[in-house]
Homo-oligomer: A and B are copies of this chain.
Amino acid sequence: MTATPAPGPGAPAAGAPAAGDFLRLDEQICFSLNAASRAFGGVYRILLKDLGLTYPQYLVMLVLWEHGELPVKKVGEHLRLDSGTLSPLLKRLEAAGLVRRERNARDERSVQVGLTEEGSALRERALDVPRRIAAATGADLEEIRALRARLDRLTAALDEAALTRAPGCT
């Protein structure tokens, strides 16, 4: 086919890219983000292998180390994850002996998630993960902070946009 309809770059003056160019630019915005996210995943995979954790499991452990026992709902709010993701993940952590799950006696709908001895102890071995990650980024703390702020603003804007287009909210 040799379709390659990529329009010649000659048409637009500086500052007025053609619509076709946006199909490239577009790739770069979100694709860079996606690529960075997966690149982080690769480094975490290496560092967390010793601890027997995946990255999302590590995030759950971070939340529990920081806040102690929590209902599944709260864990999900901290991580922006729903029960469809958390339920099997928490079961795996339970099977690994790092986490306890028990129904709340007051409200039988709710499940409290807490750390086992072993889960609490694992924190010690995780302490140097952040430093090793920071080293891998090759960026200083200030740059990271600025980047984080930018990303959080972006996330907020995107969530907002998704909501206004959500079913019944036009």
Contacts and interface: CB of A to CB of B under 8 A. Distances in A.
Interface string A1-37: 1111110001000000001101111111111111111
A5 B123 contact: yes
11 contacts: A3-B64, A22-B130, A23-B129, A30-B37, A30-B40, A31-B59, A33-B37, A33-B151, A43-B158, A43-B165, A143-B150
Interface of A: 1-6, 10, 19-20, 22-40, 42-44, 46, 55, 59, 62, 64-69, 79-80, 114-115, 120, 123, 126-131, 133-144, 147-148, 150-155, 157-162, 165
Contact of A3 (B26, B40, B141, B160): B141
A129 to B, nearest CB: 7
Contact of A137 (B20, B43, B67, B154): B154
The A interface is mostly helix, strand or loop, or mixed, namely helix
Nearest to A18: B127
